[in-house]
Amino acid sequence: MQPERLLIVTAVEAEAAAVRAGVQASGVHPDTVVVAPVGVGPAAAAAGTARLLTLAEAAGTPYRAVLSAGIAGGFPGRAVVGATVLGARTIAADLGAEAPDGFLPVDQLGFGSNLLEADPALRKTLTAALPAAIVGDILTLATVTGTAQTADILQTRHPRAVAEAMEGYGVACAAQLAGVPFAEIRTISNPIGPRDRAAWRLPEAFSALTEAVAAACG
């Protein structure tokens, strides 16, 4: 009988390598966790995750859950560089329409929802394994924030948001369609605001990601 497997998807190989190091450090059997980079952005993430879930189901070895994992930008005052964040909800923050009075999310337009909840049981397990993690909303954006003005707008529009990335909502949509529990875990590499590569702390964020995955899988 095949063991139940967890799927962890990232955007790029560098994130996947950090996740694999965490899986190895956790001591779990390597056959129980599959780590795969599926591409940058919500569309690539949705397509890549859906393909992996479909192939596993067709083979008779469906995944027990899927995690969207990687690095992210943190909202100042909510998640500092190096912190680990868990998504209570994953929100497609730029999915909607512009209007004279401001942005209208897709749910207000009557075309579905731009918000998906993390699986409660999976979130509870991750929170117990990572008690220091910051729990809040994680925004998915096709264009990440690069100005103070946009950061302020997003913070005001999403008072519970702690971080932004580019893939979570796509992964969540694929998981929901497949009926597979979903959650999102990120580590903070930079503050959200004016684009400043000198302020990014990628090694620290990758190290934190390895540690978080090791604790989550252990």
Q: What CATH number should be reported for the domain holding residue 76?
A: 3.40.50.1580
* pLDDT of 1 higher than 50: no
Helix-helix angle 168-178:42-58, to 10 degrees: 30
Q: pLDDT of 73-129, one tens digit each?
A: 999 999 999 999 999 999 999 988 888 888 888 888 878 889 999 999 999 999 999
Residue type, 75: F
Task: Name residue, tokens 């075309």.
Answer: 111
Q: Distances in Å between the alpha carbon of 97 and those of 68, 106, 112, 114, 150?
A: 26, 7, 13, 12, 16
* pLDDT of 210 higher than 60: yes
Model confidence band, residue 60 (pLDDT cutoffs 50, 70, 90): very high
Q: Distances in Å between the alpha carbon of 162 and those of 19, 48, 120?
A: 21, 25, 19
Q: Give the chain's domain count.
A: 1
In this predicted structure, what is the pLDDT of residue 3?
63
- In this structure, is the dihedral angle defined by the CA atoms of residues 11, 12, 13 and 16, taken in order, positive or negative? negative
Of 128-137, 159-168, 190-199, the range with the lowest mean pLDDT is: 190-199
Q: CA–CA separation, 192 vs 9, rounded Å?
A: 23
Q: CA–CA separation, 211 vs 199, rounded Å?
A: 22
Instruction: Give the range of the structural domain holding residue 154, as residue numbers without chain letter.
Output: 5-217
pTM confidence score: 0.93
Q: CA–CA separation, 51 vs 112, rounded Å?
A: 22
Helix-helix angle 202-217:13-26, to 10 degrees: 40
